[in-house]
Structure 1
């Protein structure tokens, strides 16, 4: 496999030059936050960050839309942290996320960059102990990050006063509204300060999101990063591969891909949670370290699974779309879609887990022959060029190359000049089995009608019949010159009688024992009538 086919984790050449050469400090970011960026190896802001920081620092409402992995979290989080007052003993900002994993991911980033500013952050997510979260709220954190349902529950318990909240960010806005969190989000927005700053963030901009923008945002600034990739916003650092295999062979194909590509880690997406147990069990049997991430997983188990995966202790992470929404694992080189995405938006968020921040990655989709049409629809809607691949001798190669390599082998298997499977036309005339067939062919040439011989023997029957016809009479009484009539039908076999009949009847009864009724009737109808 060459470097072009699998350019994992290598920043694209010239990617940094495409970004505007502006530092975070020159865009208004606090020097303490700029130092944290430098420690993380971020020398220059991404396009969406450079575009969003000045208006967000000025307190404007905004819509941030850019491809997955383009740095949207830091685009809204750094201005938010900088505008918070650490001396005020009240919650001033709320960040809402659709899933527990994304919320905890934002919390980790907020704690890392908020530390030098003295900003305290508390996570309010479903699936975790409510009593512990209520206890943490007593410290009056400046920033709360959580899922809409749990945040609203804390509000209803009067442990989170909303009037003092003057900044609200809804991350993955399209997903929040589509997952049934619309009422919770609107209730939270309705209770906050009228002078609040509201920011909607997403990789895709759905119709539901546009309606929410018109209702809740005031003259928003729209930051839409230039699309250096597909029409749907996927960066062009991602390769899109397709493997065609039978459904029963998909698990084995996953194993072979992991053995051949040898990525440092990979995420495997499934549509149906019922398949997770079987997939995890079989991959563990093959020697892989595997963890699962899905909606019914307990909060502690989910956090532990993600922690192991980020630390490299787990090689494969099997997940559903909801559980993995918005996860940021910067060094993830490979995504395997065990089943095709349900729609184009799902594909964008799956493939977007790799190829983040200018790195290269690959999104692999496994389809059965009956699912090929799905890839065609995705390619047309997303503007993605899918490459069909195949596995051969432990290597990933193009499907066309695999066909060319198989063709010589198939040709070699065929016998030359069809010697093994084509009989000569006159073979019967020279074989013992053909001695009876040859006279018939001789007679059909006309010699039979004149007493012709076959293999040195005269056919008396044919000779006699020919002689009769020459005299104008037919031996069977038919008219002169007319072909013979059809041979008489054979007489039906005579039914046995006496001891033979008794023996036959016993054999029939033994044969019918245990047979179904319809079979007995069929046998009865096929038997000759008794005399």
Structure 2
């Protein structure tokens, strides 16, 4: 087996300890191009036994560091390095987010030789003093252009500041923009730029990948993809989408059509993402719908078709998507579906990559040229026949509980892990039910509560209602029936065989609905007609108050006079006669029974004083007349005539304005 061009050109330079910038097409073996020099620089116990190193060179701190942009690429590189360093027993650890901290911290304490990680988790552990990078001899930035595009440049610079100044630095990527070259000049010492060219020429993509570009309508794309997936000789297939929502929707539609599909996107937890990738590698799922997080570094053997369901953002993303097939010399097929709105974007990509698809051909799921170019059998429909549904599916792959710290829901997130835990059934409650108290309209008088009421003890046993007697509905009294209820209550008190001193509230046997006391009478509001009669009856009421009464009558509510009642005139002679009839008893009346103080009234200018007698003292006082409101007509008639003669109004002067 001969090495790839990038490996053949990079290995001699990298093994000598020189900084390297490697650039090659996707799927041409860049991982081993930097992996083998890293493994050679690491000192392990096998080297001490063979005599190639001294015992004092052994350490448990990391000696090499590989920084990658995505979690999927982190696991991919880790597996490749473990395979290559298995003979020397090199300890390789993957550190990335979405997993629990504790297992990674425990592995660091035991000792690690090579670390492969994402920038975020590396900085977290380094900030907690759990990760020591002071012994690192070699640094590799894989997919350096992607880290710059995702905004990882500040994190990468922080990581580089934690490393020793004397080290070997290597940058590898399929595309090398100017920002990566600027980063190399700041942090690398006289790097060697290696750009490997394959035997098939200067094309941007590998020559053994067949390119197909179709102009398709968005509503017809699911049907079109379903028929492409039934092409002859199709193995594993990857479908790329721009958004997470589209990826989840297409995966669900394909599953309903009978295909064994899985999804990988950012809204899934890390456990669900790794479950889909394991099922895809193991063959349980043959269609993987994903976003651009799986477009870099994923190396799965047997991928024959790559479908761009949505047009990529730029030419670099297009290269990495298409590079998932046709790897390591194998052949593959790439199909790109361009919507009408994405034609300008696609034309820019086509021009940058120097392709021959400037005007994609309009294609539908029933177009004859689609069947001819992709070798789709005639009569194929958008639903997979049941005889061909032989895959186990995503559910056949076990979902691993990773102790995720940042799952955002979906299958495999924290919600799914919590639902998988079987909860124990709660024991039955043994507490006695709550005892209800007797209500006023109840039929039983304390039997439920277990307490005998005093009314039952005093009343005869013959008058107690039976337990099976139906409960009477509660009665509500209105104002009209209040006086009648009071009369019935007095009759019940007179006929009951109990002492007269017993309160009415205890007589609940004969008339349970009349037990309540009559409510207080509502406050009365005088009208204008009754106010005049109330003034004459006031002295008689004061004289009657002096008579001895057994029980004090409740105080009457305060009455409010209206305007007409205050204005009613009272003859002075009649007031004097009433005062003489009362004489001394009226003067000796207690202050508590005096008439309430009248509210102050503000007289108007033309108000005529009306004499009103004082009931207690008999002195006639002049009260001001109520305020009258004039209308416009009455005010004009009451106004005095002026002594002078007003001049007639002059005619208005007309003015003209010139408009310019």
Q: Does the TM-score normalized on the shorter chain lie above 0.5?
A: yes
CA gap of 1:159–1:207, structure 2 versus 1, over 3 A, is same
The one of 3, 13, 19 aligned to 1:55: 13
Displacement of 1:231 in angstroms is 5.4
2:124 aligned partner: 153
2:291 aligned partner: 320
2:36 aligned partner: 78
The one of 254, 257, 270 aligned to 2:228: 257
- Whether the 8 Å contact between 1:173 and 1:200 is mirrored in structure 2 is yes
Aligned residues: 357
Q: Aligned to 1:259, what secondary structure does the other structure show?
A: coil
1:219 aligned partner: 190
Tell me, in whole angstroms, the C-alpha distance in 1 between the residues paired with 2:30 and 2:167: 20
Which shifted more, 380-389 or 156-165? 380-389
Tell me, in whole angstroms, the C-alpha distance in 2 between the residues paired with 1:388 and 1:113: 46
1:245 matches 2:219: no
The one of 124, 143, 147 aligned to 1:172: 143
Q: Aligned to 1:110, what secondary structure does the other structure show?
A: helix
1:340 matches 2:311: yes
CA gap of 1:372–1:54, structure 2 versus 1, over 3 A, is same
Displacement of 1:385 in angstroms is 3.0
Tell me, in whole angstroms, the C-alpha distance in 2 between the residues paired with 1:126 and 1:315: 27
Higher relative contact order, structure no. (Cα contacts within 8 Å, ≥ 6 residues apart) = 1
1:385 matches 2:356: yes
Tell me, in whole angstroms, the C-alpha distance in 2 between the residues paired with 1:394 and 1:129: 51
Tell me, in whole angstroms, the C-alpha distance in 2 between the residues paired with 1:262 and 1:250: 21
Tell me, in whole angstroms, the C-alpha distance in 2 between the residues paired with 1:104 and 1:98: 11
Tell me, in whole angstroms, the C-alpha distance in 2 between the residues paired with 1:389 and 1:140: 59
Deviations 1:262-321, CA, capped at 9 Å, x for gaps: 511110000111112221111001110111011232122111111111111111101111
Q: Given the two structures, how large is their TM-score scaled by the length of structure 1?
A: 0.65
- Whether the 8 Å contact between 2:142 and 2:173 is mirrored in structure 1 is yes
Displacement of 1:375 in angstroms is 3.3
Q: Aligned to 1:271, what secondary structure does the other structure show?
A: coil
For structure 2, list consecutive stretches of 5 or more residues without a partner in the other structure. Answer: 46-57, 375-660
CA gap of 1:292–1:230, structure 2 versus 1, over 3 A, is farther
- Whether the 8 Å contact between 1:230 and 1:383 is mirrored in structure 2 is no
Tell me, in whole angstroms, the C-alpha distance in 2 between the residues paired with 1:54 and 1:244: 46
1:106 aligned partner: 77
CA gap of 1:278–1:230, structure 2 versus 1, over 3 A, is farther
1:186 matches 2:144: no
Displacement of 1:193 in angstroms is 1.3
1:329 matches 2:300: yes
1:396 matches 2:371: yes
Displacement of 1:227 in angstroms is 4.9
Structure ID, larger Rg: 2
Q: Aligned to 2:231, what secondary structure does the other structure show?
A: helix
Q: Aligned to 1:115, what secondary structure does the other structure show?
A: coil
- Whether the 8 Å contact between 1:238 and 1:355 is mirrored in structure 2 is yes
1:133 aligned partner: 104
- Whether the 8 Å contact between 1:230 and 1:382 is mirrored in structure 2 is no
CA gap of 1:245–1:165, structure 2 versus 1, over 3 A, is same
Q: Aligned to 1:333, what secondary structure does the other structure show?
A: strand
| Structure-to-structure mapping, 1:116-515, within 5 angstroms | 116-228=87-199, 233-386=204-357, 388=361, 392=367, 396-398=371-373
Tell me, in whole angstroms, the C-alpha distance in 1 between the residues paired with 2:207 and 2:327: 10
Bigger proportion of residues as helix: 1
- Whether the 8 Å contact between 1:227 and 1:233 is mirrored in structure 2 is no
Tell me, in whole angstroms, the C-alpha distance in 2 between the residues paired with 1:93 and 1:124: 13
2:534 aligned partner: none
Q: Aligned to 1:98, what secondary structure does the other structure show?
A: coil
Deviations 1:22-71, CA, capped at 9 Å, x for gaps: xxxxxxxxxxxxxxxxxxxxx11100000000111111110010000010
Tell me, in whole angstroms, the C-alpha distance in 2 between the residues paired with 1:232 and 1:204: 13
Q: Given the two structures, how large is their TM-score scaled by the length of structure 2?
A: 0.52
CA RMSD, aligned part only? Answer: 1.9
Tell me, in whole angstroms, the C-alpha distance in 2 between the residues paired with 1:380 and 1:254: 26
1:65 aligned partner: 23
For structure 1, list consecutive stretches of 5 or more residues without a partner in the other structure. Answer: 1-42, 400-531
